Structures are given as C-alpha cells and as structure tokens.
Amino acid sequence: MVNEHIAESHEEAAMDRVGFGFWVYLMTDLLMFAVLFAVFAVLRDATHGGPSGQELFKLPFVLTETLILLTSSFTAGIGMLAAHRGIKSQVLTWFGLTFCLGLAFLGMELYEFAEFIHEGHTWQSNASLSSFFTLVGTHGLHITSGLLWMGTALVFIWKRGLNAPLVRKLTLLSLFWHFLDIVWIFIFTVVYLMAFV
Amino acid sequence: MSKELQNPKITPESQHVSLTPYVVGFVLSLVFTFIPYQLVVNEILTGNMLLAAIIGCAMIQLVIQVVFFLHLGREKKPRFNLVFLLGTIGIILVVVLGSIWIMNHLHHNMSATDVTDKVASDEAVRQIDGARVGTCAGVGTNHKIELKNDSVTPLRVEAKQCDTITFSNKGDATREIRFGTQADPETYAGESGETIRARRNKIFTLTELGTHAFYDPINNTVSGYFTVKR
Amino acid sequence: MKEFLLGKLDLDALPHDIFMIAGTVSFILLGLTVIVVLTWTKRWTWLWKEWLTSVDPKKIGIMYFLVAAFMLVRGGIDAIMIWLQQALSSGSSHGYLSADHFQQIFTAHGNIMVFFVAMGFIFGLINYIVPLQIRARDLASPLLNTLGFWLYVAGVIMVNMFFVLGSEYAATGWLAIAPLSGTEFSPGVGVDYWIWSLQISGIGTTLGGINFIMTILKMRAPGMTLWKMPMFTWGSLFSMIMVVTVFPLLTATLFLLFLDRYFGMHFFTTDLGGNAMMYTNLIWMWGHPEVYILVLPAFGIFSEVVATFSRKKIASYSSQVIAMGGVSLFALSVWLHHFFTMGAGADVNSFFGVMTMIIAIPTSVLVFGWIATMYKGRIKFATPMLWFLGFIGIFTLGGMSGVMLAIPPADFQLHNSLFLVAHFHSTVIGGVLFGIFCGISYWFPKIAGFRLNERIGKNAFWCWIVGFCMSFIPMYVLGIMGATRRLDHYDASTGWQPLYIMMFIGGLIIACGVALQVVQIIASVIQKRRLRDTTGDPWNGRTLEWATASPPPFYNFATIEPVTTQDALSEIKKQGTTVEPKYEDIHMPRNTGAGIYIAAFAFVASFALVWHINWLAIVGIAGIIVCAIARTFNDDVEYKIPAATIKEMEEQRKKDTPASAPVDSKENEDMSLWDFIKIVLKWALDVVRKRRLKTW
C-alpha cells in the first residue's frame, strides 16, 4: 500500500494533536496513581501486627534501583536527541541501553517482591502489604509495558530504519518513560524513605 | 510503506533540543535523590522536619525532571500541556490530602471505645453511671476554678450535669491538671487531664456524674474536687 | 482439569429461574431476529463496512443513540418492576420479587441508567454535533473514537451477560459499597460482572474524553478562539475535562476492589487492616463529579436551544461559560456529602456541606441566564423549548432539595430516604434526560434529514411531566415521612401504600410518554417527505452545525472557512456572504476494525476474570496487546479526496435539493396521535384482509 504524500503542516498538526492527547492520557495515569498513593497513605500502618516498612525495606537496594531508573531516563533523553537528528545507530545504542537499565530495574523489583513473599509477607497478609504491592507493582507493570513498547520499536527501527512516523512514536515512548521515572520519585520518597521517618 | 528518510535531520533545526538540559537535569536529579537519602539514613533530621525535607526534595526533583526532561516550558501558547499538568497536580492534592483528612477524622471518630470516649466528651455526650445517654441540651452554668499562686479557688465545686467548669490559669507558669489523685489518677469523660498555659483557660463539660478530684502532678498544693449531680 | 479450563463456570451458571430464562430467551430472540434480517437482506458486508468499522463520528453517534435507547428500555423495565414491587409489597403481601432479586434490579437500574443510557446519549450527541459546531471534519483520533464506542458496547454486553451465564448480578446498590461487595459477603459472580462492565466502559469513556478534549482544543475552525465557541461545545469541553479527571479514580477503585476479590488482598475487607470506609470515600470522589459530567453537556444544549427559540443571543455568554467552569470546579470538592453520616465529624461535614451549597450559585447563574435570554425574545414553543421549560421546573425542584440535603444535620434525617431518591431523579431526569430529549428533538432534523412530528412530540412531553410529578412528588413526601430507599417490603401500619401506588401509576404514565416518543419517530418517518429539512437550517439556528446539509455529507463541510464571532452562523447570515467556495483536497481517515477487535479481546479478558478462567484472561490481554501493536504497524490510515471530486459532490448535492426553499411545514398539519392510531388500525385491517404488507 503506497501512502499518499501528506503536506508537512498537516503532519505537524497531527503530531501536535497526538502529542497533546498522549499528554492528557499521562495525566489520567497520574491520577490513577494518585488513588494508589492515597490508599497507601491511609493503609500504610494497617499491618495488623505484621512488620512495618521500616523492618522490611533495604534502603541501599532501593537507592540502587532509583539510580538505575533515573539513568535510564537520561539515556532515553539522549536517544531522543539522536532520533531527532536521524542517526539510527545512536538511537539503537541509547535506547538499547535504556532497555537494559529498565530490565535491570524490573529484575531488582521482582527480586525484592520474591524475597518478601518467600519470607511470608504477601499481598494477602494485611492491608499495608496489599497497598505496597499494588502501588509498586502497578508501577512495575507500567515499566513492563514500556519495555515491551521499546523492544518492538527498536526491532522496527533496526529492520526498517528511522523515519518521521517512527521518531514521533519514539517521542511518545520517551514521554512515557520520563513520566514513569517521575512517579518513581514519589514511590521512593513516600513508600520507602517515609517508612524510616 | 512509510515515508523514507530523505534528510538526515528529521526534525527541523528550530525544534532541536541540545544535550545541556538533559545533563543538567540528570545531575540535579542525582543531587536531589542523594540529599533525602542521606537525610534519612544518617538521621540528620527527624520527625516532621525530615518529612517536610524529603517531600520538598521530591517536589523539587519533579520540577527538575518536568522542565529538563519533558521540556515543559518550551511549548508555544496556548500552553495547554502546562495547564493540564498544573490542574492534575491540583486534583492529586485534593485526592490525596482530602482522603487523608477525611480518613483521619473517620478513624478518630469510628475507632475503639477509648478513642471514642474522648470524642464523646468533646461533643458533650451525657453519661450516667458510665452509660451514654445522649448529648447535653444547651449549656449549663459555668463554674470558674482559678489557679493562682499555687492555690485553687474554690476548692470544691457543686455542679449539675451538663454544667461546665473553666479552669483558669491566672499565674505566670504553665500548669497541668490531672483527674483523680496523685496516688490514684483517673480519667473523666475520656480525658486524663489537660495542660493549661499561663493566663489561659480550659473548659470541661461535666457529662459524667459523681465526685471527682483533680490535681497538679508537679505541685501538691494545687488540688480540689467537684461533684456532679443530675 | 475442568477447573483450569472453565474456572468457576459450570452447569449451575445456566439460567434456571423464570426471570433469567425470560431474559435469556429475549436476548436470543433479539439476536436471532437481527441475524435473520441481515442474512435475508444480504447486508452483512454493508453493516461491517458502513457502520461497524466506521470511524465517522456521525455514524458512531447514531450507534451510541441506538444502544442507549435499547438500554433506556431495559433500565425502564427495571424501574417499572421496582415501582410495582413497592406498590404491592405492604403488610402481608411480599410482592412478586424476592428480596435478593429486588436488590439486583435496583442495582442494575442505577448502573444502566447512569453508565449506559445517559453516557451513551451524551457521547452520541457530542460525537455528532461538536465537530459540526467547530467546523471540523472528524475527531482528533478516529481510532480512539471507534475503540471507545466498542468498549462501551462490551460493557453493555457484560451488564446483560448474567442472564445467560451466572444468573446473578450485584445486589449491592449501583456503587457496590464495600464490604458488602467483597468476597466475604458477595461470593458470587454478580459483583464481578458489575466491576468489569463498569471498568471496560469506563476506560472507553476516558479514551473518549481524551479524544474530545484533543478535538475541541486543537481542531477548531481558524478564528474560532475559545471565547467564540458555541455553548454546547463549552459544556462538552468542561464535561470531558471532568471525565479525564475523575474516571481514572474510578478505574483505580474498581481495580482495587477486583484485587480484593481476585487476589485476596485487603483494601476494603473487614479484617487484616482493611478499611471499607476508604472505598466509600474513593467511589464518591468519582461518583459525584460523574453526575456533573452528565449534566454539563445538557446545560450546553439548553443554552443553544433557548437562544435559538427565543431568537436572541444568549444573555451574557461570559458569565454562562464561567458559571459552567465554576460548576465543574466545585463539583470536584463536594463528594463527602454522600456520606455525611459515616462519621467524619462536624468539621469535615461542615466544610463539605458549605462547598455543596456553593454549587447552587453558578447553577443559578446559568438558570437566570437562560431566563434572561428568554426575556424580550420572540419565543417559539417548539418541542425542544418545552423540554427546556420542563427542565426548569423539575431540575429546580431537584436542586433545591439538594441544597436541603447539603445541610449535614438535615441530611442525618434524610440520608438514604426516598427524599434523596426523589432529589437525584429530579436532577438527573429533569436535567440530564430532558436535556438529551431536548437535544435530540432539536438536532434530529440535522441527523435524519427531516424534523420530528411536533404534535405527538408535545403529547409525549406532557406524559413525561405529568408522570414524573405523579411519581416523584409523593416520593419527596414519603422520604420526609421516613420511608427509606430500596425497601422491598414495608409495614402496612406506615400508611405508605397509597403513595407507592400513586408512584407506580406515575411510572406507567412515564412509560406512555416513552411509547409516544417511539410513535413520534415512526409518525415522522411516515410523513418524512413533508417534514424534510432541505435548507439544513430548519430552526434558523445560530451555530455552525446548521451551515451544512441535513444530514451532512461524510466530510461535514466542503470548505473550512474562518470564524470571526460568537454565534458564527448568525454572523454569516447577517453578512450575507455568497463567496464562491475554494475547494481543497480533503484527508479523511479510513475505517478500521481495530476498535472492534481490541474491544472483543477486552470483553474476553473480562469475562475470563469474572469466572476465574486464568488462561483465557491471559489470552484476552495478549490479544489486546497484539492488536494494538499490529495497529501501530499500519501507516496507511488516511485517504485523500481531491478538490475536484469535492466540487463535483457539492454541485450534485445542490442539484438534488429543490431550488426554492419550501414553505415551512406547519405544525398543525403534522399527524396527530389519533391520526396515527387510525393509520395503524387501517394497516392492521389491510394485513388481516389481504394477508400481505403494504408499503407506505
């Protein structure tokens, strides 16, 4: 199927709309997280005699996770610079790095969950743990979706090369990725750091 | 098939972002990640100060990432993205803070009896022999007990149920008033006592019947009692 | 093995009581009829290509109307069942419904009316009319539009699915408050059906909200600044901003309840730290703004209709817009008034009580604005105007009872009484439903190409008003007398039965009103030729949707001319421009099945989650992901119509319409109800005599 030639201003207007629409979607996602944060705030102490966050969390571990995710946000930004300049190899390198860092973050998070479950602290144990697993787990699910999206996009770029529509899609993906790091800032602060206050 | 790449630069030069904001944003984010971490781990601050500090750092990092990674200030007018973000932050505050405020009050009012007893006294719920029988209708007579120069005037008050007693601290020092005696403290209507600052008053509604004593735990000469009848 | 394959599904899930069997049989008959008709007329491909995969907001709008109308009948039948049960069930009689069944009925009634009737009609109207009002050709994302619609349909199927499999719906009230909705107290599948029908259609609504915001903010005609937009577009914009603000809260809350039920978590349970009061808090954070989401487009419709039928510009455009904004803003800060009695205490209650009362202020600004518009106008009492006047009376009654309820001490007496029920029905029926009826009768000529029969329309209106008053004014009285809501039986000594019977009769009169509305449409179709709208502007409108043909061509407007003022069409008429239009190439989006496929997988996944069929849930979710990715591979989503073709189509259209504008068909020459009955009887007699159908 051959695409008709579309006037550039038409494309620009379309991208502007799509970019704005995606931004509004990100706002709705933020609000969904807001509920999860509110629930966490209300239920964090409802441990029913079980261990508190202070007893469970290992801050150095979480700091490492945080730095990994932050770095991946940075590398995604560099990848976007390359994308706007049309340099395919750099795009693959930097987003590939982002992908690996994201995967490492996810791995660390799953390891933390597995440890808790192994020790008998599951989401069924009490309300506090339910809200912990849900808040952090939902963020993890978003990271997973982002990685899936990133992987697909990278395969595409590798096979078909860079073009304007793909760069537009990468822009949305990088928005999503940055936004996930922003949500993590608050998880790091409210869930992990605040447990020790 | 999609449009192939004609020109190495896909995005026009005018819309290019340089490397600088990303590096600056990254470094600043690192700083504002380490600061709260160190504050918590090394216990440099504690309590509400620490809470304020780490939340403050989180907010600052939010702004850093939004400005440097998401380039929020750079869009042309009308700045819909910015407006929607600010609106969302506002709603998030309403959702989170509103929930905390409401649930806190609900917890306070709807919890086990020791907590709710205090609330009942706040709201002047009448008690006879420990059983709650409704609220005091209207306000009764007010009896004033003055605490001055380590003396109590009057020593003894006779009151009716639903009257009020005002403890008036006429001295220069803060006083503490506890119910019962030094040897045998008790609670009255859910309250164990109250701290009264200099030249301030505290009002208690007499919702429970019986004779009850009060004392200042620091200074033995300050004590007295009141009797509440129906 | 069976449990792995089928989860909780087994033969018990099939219908085995009379109501479930009746429901299942009805759906099967309905489905069979549709299949038979389509096959006989060989229209499957047509249906698929022209309607089901269409991304044209006009077609999607009509599909929303059809589904919402069907659900209106379904929800209305629920209402009649409730009225009848309560009229009968006094003293020794216990009516004809078991308590559990009664609870499922009022739960379904609430969900259907709010989510599937009101939202459906509103989305239909916004889809059809807003692009026309801002001189756009489509919404910003045709894909999201069709996806949103099919997710809504998936929700509709889900909320009716229990007849066929499961035989139970939620018996918890329309918002399924915890812990009643938790596994401990509602172990069956009813609440799960509830969760997923709302979750899927809620996500569809959120996507629609994003789409409409994108469209209104980014696709207006050149020159149409925000302050020149028509009032319906403003109402829709505010409503959609509220949608994207609060529907995510619903999504999250439903998700948490699902986690409690499916994974044994403890958010809202009675043990291990759960806090059921948090559920009430969260669900009403969504629930209150939801009713304003429904009513703001209705306010927009009324502004349009009042201005048009008073033949006058809306009095003070600015204050109307600011008032709508004020209503939206305050709506987000009042939710606790739904649970004053839960125990948050005087401080919290008084804050929310005051905030609730404050909403009355911008609302009154709107109402007085409309009245001011009517003042010194030359009013035409067409059916849309009658619906507006009905709204003024009934909505004001509802609003005043709302302010009464906003006072916490008063609410402690009236909470969950019939007074509350009367209040919200007055506001929702008087505001939202009458707004929808007003909008449909106003824009029907634009959508169908011919106007509606005025005489039968007025009869229908009067049935609604009389029926409503007869049904709901006694309800206010009963509420103050102490009758609680949702009673399936009450003591004869209360003396309430006569009032309940009166309410039931009122309900029957409303049903007559609905029947007359159906008759109105049929009668209009019969007299289609006479009622045809040839100019595209039968009411002498003030806004741009009237500047194109009725119904509009698929590209809406041949040319997108800039706009310079509010009430853009009135301005154009004043200037009397007859410039030769400059045709350009038009880009239109292609139809796509992506919406249906993704919604189908979403339905499969939800169904699987209801019945705990884990492998099927994974298949469903994987399907959604695969379809979404496949869709992003597809770059060929638009096609171009060259300017020359547009020119041809426009000139052909001008040839087809009669040269001179016809005389405005007089209302008193419209068919009356008695004429209609005579026609139907005559037709029936002919059929009986000659045993064949006559075509009109």
The two tokens of residue C442 are: 């106003």
Residues in B lying within 8 Å of C, measured between beta carbons: 1-2, 80, 87-88, 91, 94-95, 98-99, 101-103, 105-106, 108-110, 119, 123
Q: Among B49, B130, B61, B55, which residue's Cα sits nearest to residue B93?
A: B55
Interchain CB contacts (distance < 8 Å): A and B: 144
Residue C582's pLDDT band (cuts 50, 70, 90): confident
Q: Where are the alpha helices (DSSP H) in C527-642?
A: 528-531, 568-575, 594-610, 614-633
B90 has pLDDT over 70 = yes
Chain B residue whose CA is closest to A167? B10
Across the B/C interface, how many CB contacts are shorter than 8 Å?
44
Neighbours of A19 (CB within 10 A): 17
Instruction: Look at residue B8 and tell me whether its pLDDT is greater than 50.
Output: no
CA distance C633 to chain B (A): 10
pLDDT-derived band at B124 (thresholds 50, 70, 90) equals: confident
pLDDT at residue C577, as a whole number: 66
C347 contacts in B (CB within 8 Å)? Answer: 105
Q: B119: which chain C residues are within 8 Å (Cβ-Cβ)?
A: 345
Per-residue pLDDT at C106 exceeds 80:
yes
Name the DSSP class of C173. T
Look at A11-20, B49-58, C55-64, C126-135 and tell me which has the smallest mean pLDDT.
Answer: A11-20
Smallest Cβ–Cβ distance between C266 and the set A6, A127, A148 belongs to A127
Residue B18's contacts (CB-CB under 8 Å, 6 or more residues apart) are A81
Q: How many CA atoms lie within 13 A of B200 on its CB side?
A: 11
* C667 beta partners: none
Residue of C143, C262, C267 to mutate when probing chain A, most A C-beta within 10 A: C267
Length of chain C: 696
Q: Which of A181-190, B51-60, C165-174, C661-670 has the lowest mean pLDDT?
A: C661-670
- CA-CA distance, C247 to A77, in Å (whole number)? 31
pLDDT tens, A59-94?
A: 999 999 999 999 999 999 999 999 988 889 999 999
Check C347 against B105: CB less than 8 A apart: yes
In chain B, the percentage of residues whose pLDDT exceeds 90 is 30
Architecture of domain B124-229: Sandwich (2.60)
List of E strands, B59-113: none
**Would the pLDDT of B12 be above 70?**
no
pLDDT on residue C668 = 67
> Up-side HSE of residue C541: CA atoms within 13 Å toward CB?
24
Gap from B40 CA to chain A (nearest CA, Å): 7
pLDDT digits (tens, 9 = 90+) for B174-220: 888 889 888 888 888 777 888 888 888 888 888 888 899 998 888 87
Structure token digits, residue B97 = 């803070």
Instruction: Tell me which residue in B2, B91, B108 faces C245 most closely, judged by beta carbons.
Output: B91
Among B124-128, B163-167, C344-348, the minimum mean pLDDT is found in B124-128
Tell me if residue C278 falls in helix, strand or coil: helix
Say whether residue A19 is in contact with chain C using an 8 A CB cutoff: no
Pull the structure tokens for residue C232: 């319906």
Beta-carbon separation of A28 and C247 below 8 A = yes
Cβ separation C632–A169 shorter than 8 A: yes
Indicate the residue of A3, A31, A163 with minimum beta-carbon distance to B5. A163
Distances (CA, A) of C80 to A36, A168, C83, C342: 40, 54, 5, 31
What integer pLDDT is reported at residue C693 of this predicted model? 57
The alpha carbon of residue C637 and the mean position of all alpha carbons in its chain are separated, in whole angstroms, by 30
Count of Cβ atoms closer than 10 Å to residue C49 Cβ: 12
Measured distance CA(C237)–CA(C250) in Å, rounded? 20
Return the domain boundaries, chain B: 2-74, 124-229
Closest CA–CA distance from residue B107 to any residue of chain C (Å) = 8
What is the share, in percent, of chain C residues with pLDDT greater than 90? 72
Q: Does pLDDT of A4 surpass 50?
A: no
Partners of C249 on chain B (C-beta within 8 Å) are: 95
Q: What is the pTM of this model?
A: 0.87
Structural domains for chain A: 2-196 (1.20.120.80)
Chain C positions touching A24 (Cβ under 8 A) are 210, 213-214, 244
- Interface touch C333/B110, C-beta < 8 Å: no
What's the whole-number mean pLDDT along residues B94-120? 83
Chain C residue with Cα closest to B119: C345
B95/C285 Cβ within 8 A: yes
Tell me which chains share at least 3 CB pairs under 8 Å with chain A.
Answer: B, C
Q: Where in chain C do CATH 1.20.210.10 domains reside?
A: 53-543+635-695
| For C639, nearest residue in chain A (alpha carbons) | A4
Contact A130 C282 (CB under 8 A): no
Q: Do A32 and C249 touch (CB under 8 A)?
A: yes
A60: which 2 tokens? 């150095």
CB < 8 Å to B25, chain A: 74, 77
Query: How is residue C249 annotated by DSSP?
Result: H
Chain A partners of C272 at a C-beta cutoff of 8 Å?
46, 48, 125-127
B47/A197 Cβ within 8 A:
yes
B201-205 β-sheet, strand order? B151-153, B142-148, B164-169, B201-205
Please list, residue by residue across C3-35, b when 16 or more beta carbons sit within 10 angstroms of its beta carbon and e when fewer do: eeeebebeeebebeeebbeebbeeeeeeeeeee
- Range A174-184 average pLDDT: 95
| C296 vs C232: CA distance, rounded Å | 9
C537: left (phi over 0), alpha (psi -120 to 50) or beta: beta
Who among B26, B99, B103 is closest to A74 (CB)? B26
Q: What end-to-end distance do the CA atoms of chain B give, in Å?
A: 92
Q: Is A169 on the interface with C (CB under 8 A)?
A: yes
H/E/C letters for each residue in C35-103? HHHHHHCCCHHHHHHHHHCCCCHHHHHHHHHHHHHHHHHHHHHHHHHHHHHHHHCECCCCCCCCHHHHH
Report CB contact under 8 Å: B103, C343.
Answer: no
- The alpha-carbon gap from B2 to the nearest alpha carbon of chain C, in Å, equals 6
Q: Which of A2, A32, A138, A155 best probes binding to C when mutated, by most C CB atoms within 10 angstroms?
A: A32
Q: Does residue C183 belong to the interface with chain A, where contact is any CB pair within 8 Å?
A: no
Return the higher-pLDDT residue of C585 and A11: C585
Q: How many CA atoms lie within 13 A of C307 on its CB side?
A: 24
**Interface contact A131-C267, CB threshold 8 A:** yes
Quick one: pLDDT band at residue B10, thresholds 50, 70, 90?
low
Average pLDDT, chain B: 83
Record: contact C211-A6, CB cut-off 8 A: no
**C-beta separation of C205 from C243 below 8 A:** yes
d(Cα B168, Cα B154) in Å, to the nearest integer?
11
pLDDT averaged over chain C?
A: 91
Percent of chain C beyond pLDDT 70? 97
CATH entry 1.20.210.10 includes domain C53-543+635-695:
yes
Residues of C within 8 A of B101 (CB-CB) are: 348
Structure token pair of residue C119 = 């939202």
Minimum Cα–Cα distance from B61: chain A residue: A185
Q: Is the ipTM of this complex over 0.90?
A: yes
Quick one: pLDDT band at residue A109, thresholds 50, 70, 90? Answer: very high
| Residue in the structure block whose two tokens are 């068909």 | C665
Enter the DSSP assignment of C433.
Answer: I
pLDDT category at A5 given cuts 50, 70, 90 is very low
Selected for mutation to probe chain B from A9, A26, A42 (highest B CB count within 10 Å) is A42
Across-strand partners of B142? B164
Q: Does A124 contact C253 at a Cβ distance shorter than 8 Å?
A: no
pLDDT tier for residue B114 given thresholds of 50, 70 and 90: low
Least confident of A158-162, C155-159, C515-519: A158-162
Cβ of B87 within 8 Å of Cβ of C333? The answer is no
State whether B103 and C281 contact (CB < 8 Å): yes
Q: How far is CA A133 from CA A181, B194, C263, C453, in A?
A: 18, 42, 12, 59
Taking contacts as CB-CB distances below 8 angstroms, the residues of chain A near B35 are: none
pLDDT band at C667 (very low <50, low <70, confident <90, very high): low
pLDDT value at residue C157: 95
Amino acid in the structure at residue A93: T
